[in-house]
Amino acid sequence: MQVTPAADPQMSREDFLMFRDFIHEKCGIFFAENKTYLVRNRLVKRMADLGIKTYRDYFYHVKYDTSLKEFNALLNLITTNETSFFRNEPQLLSFSDEVLPLLIDEKNKQCGQKRLRIWSAGCSTGEEPYTLSIIIHEKIRDLTNWNVEIIANDISEQVLQKARRGEFSGITMRNVRPDILTRYFTKTGDLYRVNPSVKSLVNFSHMNLNDPRRTSVNSNLDAIFCRNVMIYFSDEVKRQLTRNFYNALRPGGYFYIGHSETLHGISKAFKLVYFKNALVYHKEATGVAATAGTGHTATAQTAAKPAGSSAGVSSGASRALDLLSKIKPVSQHK
Ligand X SMILES: C[S@@+](CC[C@H](N)C(=O)[O-])C[C@H]1O[C@@H](n2cnc3c(N)ncnc32)[C@H](O)[C@@H]1O
**C-beta closer to ligand X: residue 52 or 248:** 248
Query: Kindly report the CA angle at 147 between 161 and 333, in degrees rounded to 5?
Result: 95
**At closest approach, how far in Å is the CB of 129 from ligand X?**
9
**C-beta closer to ligand X: residue 246 or 299:** 246
**At closest approach, how far in Å is the CB of 328 from ligand X?**
25
**At closest approach, how far in Å is the CB of 116 from ligand X?**
19
Spatial separation of the C-alpha atoms in residues 117 and 10, rounded to whole Å: 48
Q: What is the DSSP string of 100-111?
A: HHHHHHHHHHS-
**C-beta closer to ligand X: residue 128 or 222:** 128
**At closest approach, how far in Å is the CB of 81 from ligand X?**
4
Q: What is the binding site for ligand X (CB under 6 A)? A: 27-29, 79-83, 87, 122-124, 128, 154-156, 159, 207-210, 227-229
User: Where are the alpha helices (H) located in the chain, listed in sequence order?
Assistant: 13-27, 36-50, 55-63, 69-78, 89-93, 100-109, 127-139, 157-165, 178-184, 196-200, 212-215, 235-248, 318-327
DSSP-derived 3-state class of residue 307: coil
**C-beta closer to ligand X: residue 75 or 272:** 75
As to burial, measured by CB atoms within 10 angstroms (0-12 exposed, 13-18 middle, 19+ buried), residue 86 is buried
**C-beta closer to ligand X: residue 111 or 171:** 171
**At closest approach, how far in Å is the CB of 315 from ligand X?**
27
